[in-house]
Amino acid sequence: MNIWLCVKNPRNIISFLIAFLLFIPASSIAGQFKVVRVYDGDTVRAIGHGIEIKVRLFGIDAPETSKKKGLSGQPYSVQAKKFFAGMVLNKTVCHKKLSV
C-alpha cells in the first residue's frame, strides 16, 4: 500500500511526515489527523475521525527518552524530542491510500 501526504503550512517536513504516515495502520481511515503528543524523537500520538493512533516513524532511530521521572534517557533525547515536536506538534496532516 502506498500513502500520499498533504500538509497544511509545510516547512521542510514533507519527507519526515511521509515516513510518519507510512506507519499508520492499513486499516486506518484516510483523511486528516492532528498530532497531539510527541513522546520522543520518533514517536507521536495523533487524533482524527474519532480515533487516536500512536505512530512510530519507520527508518528513524532517534534517542529514547526515559520512561521514569528524573532520569535523562539516552544522550540528545531531549533535543531530539524538542526538534521533532517543533516540526509536527499541533500540525494537521492528511493521507490518502493509493492503489499500486
Q: Per residue in 17-32, pLDDT tens?
A: 555 555 555 444 567 8
Single pTM value for the model: 0.62
Residue 26 main-chain phi, psi, to 5 deg? -60, -25
Q: Which helix (H) or strand (E) holds 83?
A: helix 77-88
Domain of residue 41 covers 2-98
Task: Give per-residue pLDDT as tens, 41-94.
Answer: 988 898 988 888 887 877 888 999 888 888 888 999 999 999 999 998 999 876
In the predicted structure, residue 16 carries a pLDDT above the cut 80: no
90 or 33: which leads in pLDDT: 90
What is the count of structural domains for the chain? Answer: 1
Task: State the pLDDT at residue 91.
Answer: 94
